[in-house]
Amino acid sequence: MKFIETRGNDGQRPTHISFAQAILSPMSSFGGIYSPESLPSFDEAFFMSHVNSGYKTLAKDVLKAFEIDIEEKIIDEALALYDEFDDPSNPVPVVKVYDDLFVSELYHGPTRAFKDMALQPFGKVLSALAQARDEKYLILAATSGDTGPAALETFKNRDNVQVACLYPDGGTSDVQRLQMVTEDAANLKVIGIHGDFDDAQTALKSLLVSEKFRDALKEHNISLSAANSVNFGRIIFQTIYHIYSYLELVRQGAIQMGDQVYLNVPSGNFGNALGGYYALKMGLPVKQIHIASNMNNVLTKFINTGRYDLREISVIPTTSPAMDILKSSNIERVLFDLFGAERTKELMFELDNHKFYELTEAELSQVQAIFAADFCTDEEGMNYIQQAFSVGYLMCPHTATCFKAYDTCREDKTLKTIAYSTAEWTKFSPVIAKALTGDIYEHDRDALKMIADKAGISIPSQIEALFSKPVAQKTVIDKQDIESEILKFLA
């Protein structure tokens, strides 16, 4: 399978590249990104053949269908990392909350967030490619809270790879911050910036296309890649858990093979939703994908009106900080798939330069045939947390946004909904504690203990250990100093 450019070709790059090339160099002409030229097609026989498959078996067959140019041995070693999740036989539990609402729990990996599902195998693959080519890579990551810890975890101490991770200082939960700043591997650099996630992501994209920065890296014999979902190496692994979750409903007897379902995704940068979109396009019986946002509801407005408008707005800090994002990178891949490279280039140029674009009425109809959207306020989210806990389900504030979309976006209420839980409750304990008791907890440790006691569960060892680890990464800078700070790290 070959990969092509979302904004067309500038005549300076190859028109088609392999999966390995797309992983190693994820940015394309005119500031675009790479998408598959075509998608594999899965029929009911494929899904039936995997009703009783384990996660790794399903994942390997999906990857084979993409015909990626990665050695089988490397794929096997990458997928074996799922054996380190809470339950190797079921790394993605799907839990029934209501009769027609099931939650796919994507957070049972080492950093307790859904980014582990893609970044654990991705890190192994990229590092293996770098070693096979005898090349060194700098991996850039910008995080709103979950990508950073997962990227640092997967790449720490790997050969031929160094990582620079950007996060908004004060814009993550305490646990997310501790997961980053306590990392002490020599090949990792964590950089807090004065700004929000969009500032961090904009800086990352600027560095990825900067010839000046690339020339500086060449002096160290280092090439450049990224761990954010601009890299299709992330997205390909995110398609798999949508298929697995559907098959889990079949296994549980909640649906029959071929029944349609709703997918309900808390969306920030749209990578999780894009994985569901590709799964739908490849043949998964999905009626519609519901996009749940918080008060940073640009995506809701876009899907409901066709207007992507960043003019005169700024990020609003919320209780679901990993979704405090305005410019969602993976919308571009949907635009490209629906409307082609020329139109995508036109729309993204308008957004990059004027902070606004608008779809035609016909284009909006195409989007709305696939997606519906709503947003959830902090207060509503706390109510949903409390309601779910009353029926025995404990969830994070990002997952709570899905419950709002579940209430408002379904047209056919006879269908089941799969909602995606992107983070464990431990990462946002003060918010959850307030939702459950009304009390304000200033320290995460106190909130964690209260919730664990109230729910009759234990705090995972990965989280408990954070509070006794020394802070190894203390850098916090202005965003204009990011490039020089990274070069200083490499030197």
Position 434 pLDDT exceeds 90? yes
Per-residue pLDDT band for 247 (boundaries 50, 70, 90) equals very high
Q: Which domains does the chain have, with CATH numbers?
A: 88-113+234-460 (3.40.50.1100)
Residue 391 tokens read as: 């029926």
Classify the C-alpha dihedral 110-278-282-266 as positive or negative.
positive
In this prediction, residue 268 has a pLDDT band, given cuts at 50, 70 and 90, of confident
Is pLDDT of 217 > 90? Answer: yes
Give the model's pLDDT for residue 286: 98
pTM: 0.95
Tens digit of each residue's pLDDT (9 = 90 or more) over 329-354: 999 999 999 999 999 999 999 999 99
Q: Which of 319, 328, 321 is nearest to 301 (CA)?
A: 328
- 328 pLDDT higher than 90: yes
pLDDT given for residue 260 in this prediction: 98
Backbone torsions φ then ψ of 368, nearest 5 degrees: -70, -15
What is the pLDDT, as a whole number, of residue 250?
98
Judged against a pLDDT cut of 90, whether residue 491 lies above it is answered with: no
CA distance 420 to 228: 19
Q: Is the pLDDT of residue 428 over 90?
A: yes
Average pLDDT over residues 231-240: 97
User: From residue 457, how far is each of 174, 270, 398, 451 by CA, in Å?
Assistant: 21, 32, 21, 8
Mean pLDDT across 148-162: 96
Query: Per-residue pLDDT tens for 6-24?
Result: 999 999 999 999 999 999 9
**What is the tens place of the pLDDT at every residue in 362-403?**
999 999 999 999 999 999 999 999 999 999 999 999 999 999
Spacing of C-alpha 319 from chain mean position: 18
Handedness of CA 83, 128, 224, 349 (dihedral sign): negative
Mean pLDDT of 439-466: 95
Give the separation between CA 341 and CA 344, rounded to whole angstroms: 5
**Mean pLDDT across the stretch 455-479?**
96
Q: Which residue reads 């979902």 in tokens?
A: 229
Q: Residue 51's pLDDT is what?
A: 97
Strands 371-375 and 34-36, sheet pairing: unpaired
Rama region for 138: left / alpha / beta (φ>0; ψ in -120 to 50; rest): beta
Tens digits of residue pLDDT in 413-425: 999 999 999 999 9
Q: Using one digit for the tens of pLDDT, what is the confidence trace for 93-127?
A: 999 999 999 999 999 999 999 999 999 999 999 99
Q: What was the pLDDT predicted at 345?
A: 98
To the nearest whole number, what is the mean pLDDT of the chain? 96
Share above pLDDT 90 across residues of the chain, in percent, rounded to a whole number = 98
Question: How much is the average pLDDT of 250-271?
Answer: 96
Of the pLDDT bands very low, low, confident and very high (cuts 50, 70, 90), residue 158 is: very high
Q: What is the pLDDT of residue 37?
A: 97
Using DSSP bridges, classify how beta strands 261-266 and 371-375 pair: parallel, antiparallel or unpaired: unpaired
Kindly state the average pLDDT of the residues 296-315.
97
User: What are the pLDDT digits (tens) for 13-52?
Assistant: 999 999 999 999 999 999 999 999 999 999 999 999 999 9
Closest by alpha carbon to 123, among 72, 90, 161?
Answer: 161
Q: Is the pLDDT assigned to residue 442 strictly greater than 90?
A: no
